[in-house]
A and B are shown apart, each in its own frame.
Chain A
Amino acid sequence: MHAIEKILARAAGKATVATGEIINCKVDLAGINDLYLQTIRSFREMGGKKVNDPRKLVVFLDHYAPASTITQADNQKQFREFCWDQGIDLLMDVDTGVCHQVLADNGLVYPGMVLVVTDSHTTTHGAFGAFGTGVGATDLAIIMMTGQLWFRVPEVIRINLEGRLPKGVFAKDVILKVIGSLGADYGVYRAVEFTGPVLKEFGISERMALCNMTTEMGAKTAYIQPDEITMAFLKGKTKQDYEIFATDPGYEYAAEHSLDVSDLMPQVAAPHSVDNVFDITAYAGRPVDQAFLGTCTGGRVEDLAVAAGILKGRRVNPRTRFLVVPASKGVFLEAMDKGYIQALLEAGATFVTPGCAACLGTHQGMLASGETCITASSRNFPGRMGHTKAEIFVGSPAAVAAAALEGKIVNPADYLE
């Protein structure tokens, strides 16, 4: 069996599971985001009064942090009251940040767990060897009632990353290249595992970016076998006893791909699809109205560090707005401690409260018709960050910072030491 299958088998109370089998799994932790009051509505519609186990639920007020409309404020009010009524202690209010980063910061994610959140980017937690997957509101309400959810055991695709990363090339460029090569629906219903020597060059931050973006190829979950890098991150963070599962020798993957990153250029996904991927030089010189650094994909300390490195002592182009959103309070504090916030603020960045911010096209940095944005987030769908006639390019945090400096898309490798 694959390690993912072993995780699911344990959660289902079975010795073995087979690809394609429908199983009912106990969920170790389920997360609800403030966009989805429907979760509570579905819970009540199904006759729910008390949640199955309040210790296994976490509520994140992250997408509307803080509320911009009375409706959003009312939804968040209902969430807070629900947590207080149900004894849910893990209420992550508007001061904490994006769910996936908050889970990592607080030691709530660990290898071998089944983690389900009402957010598509829950694949992020493959970086810790967890089974993380996104669901909708009603599925989450079923977990609230029963502590369990059904899953189809997925096929697993292996993507082996070889070679040495060139200057200016990051995990974001690697995963954009993968998505561009394989397509936005290649991973639908399937799991994606990353292997290979390049993983040793990636810290947890880059591994999270890699796994996070597998959602953009349709994946159900992502996986990186936990190693010394994972252990070092988790030490002192998680209080859980956890079990690390390993894939049996001879496990047959549904497909295997290999990518040598040695000659990879910085990448960009051009409008309006995340698999519309090019070397960034194909769009060099394209004027940028807004550069957006943040989110569960690209708002970690390492991302702010690379941006600060590019912008320290320089000025953001006067024709470009540079929005910076640390992914979480923890990220904000650490980046402040290291001087990155000061450097970016002095360079002309506009800071937004930790949360999802402009990524979901509802507040804090909307785009007008005809505007162009380069973003370190995950999506460039039509209308994703505002008007459907806005154009969004998805790139690495370095590409975003370099574009903010120059006011146009450039090759970030030219701006790095």
Chain B
Amino acid sequence: MKSIISGKCFVYGANIDTDQIYPGRFLDLTDPDKVAEHAMEGADPSFVKEVGPGDIIVAAANFGCGSSREHAAVTLKTVGVGAILADSFGRIFYRNAINLGVPLLVCPGIAGVVKRGDRLTVDLTTGKVTNETTGAAAQAQALSGYVMEILAGGGIKPMIKEKYGQ
């Protein structure tokens, strides 16, 4: 796991639900590359054209609320999102993203101090967030030990495979 994530950011408001992250009409797709074609389509159709590896999503409260669809985490992981920072997260989305190895950090007020396109650096170990474009800083809540363990292993699948694989 890279402990320092750096990328340009995309900023959204509150209650970006998983239907906006990944619309329901594409739920029958299973190939991650196909799923990736619809990332954020319901909230921001230009996202998928502009996003690059390591880029960071910043949002206000309750990012990823709603449906349990793991597609929402798969689509953001596959387009290369490096981290997601928000005031709070929908709880199923939180688990799904961490399980896939995408770092999610609770960082109250973050959406107010960054603009789309700003360059952010996030230190996963300390939770320190720096806006390289403006010089502003913010502090995210520390990730729990278990979450760090999952992220360090590249997601939960390798962990389970090693312990329980048949």
A residues lining the B interface (CB < 8 Å): 22, 35-38, 41-42, 45-50, 63-64, 69, 71-72, 75, 118-120, 134-139, 142, 145-146, 150, 184-185, 188-189, 218, 220, 273, 275, 360-362, 366, 379, 381-384, 388
Contact = CB atoms under 8 A, between A and B. Distances in A.
A382 B88 contact: no
A383 B24 CA distance: 8
B25 interface: yes
Nearest to A137: B70
Interface string B1-39: 000000000000011010110011101111000000000
B164 A118 contact: no
Contact of B30 (A49, A75, A185): A75
Interface stretch (B48-56, B124-132, B155-163): B155-163
A381 B66 contact: yes
A47 B95 contact: no
A72 B25 contact: no
Given A120-B92, A138-B156, 13 more contacts: A35-B69, A38-B74, A46-B161, A47-B164, A48-B165, A75-B28, A134-B68, A138-B96, A184-B15, A184-B65, A381-B42, A382-B20, A382-B42
B67 interface: yes
10 contacts: A38-B74, A41-B30, A48-B166, A72-B28, A136-B70, A136-B95, A184-B15, A185-B15, A185-B61, A218-B90
Contacts of A384: 19, 24
B27 A63 contact: yes
Interface in B56-85: 61-62, 65-71, 73-74
Contacts of B148: none
A135 B166 CA distance: 23
A388 B61 CA distance: 21
B25 A362 contact: yes
Given A48-B166, A136-B73, A382-B19, A188 B160 contact: no
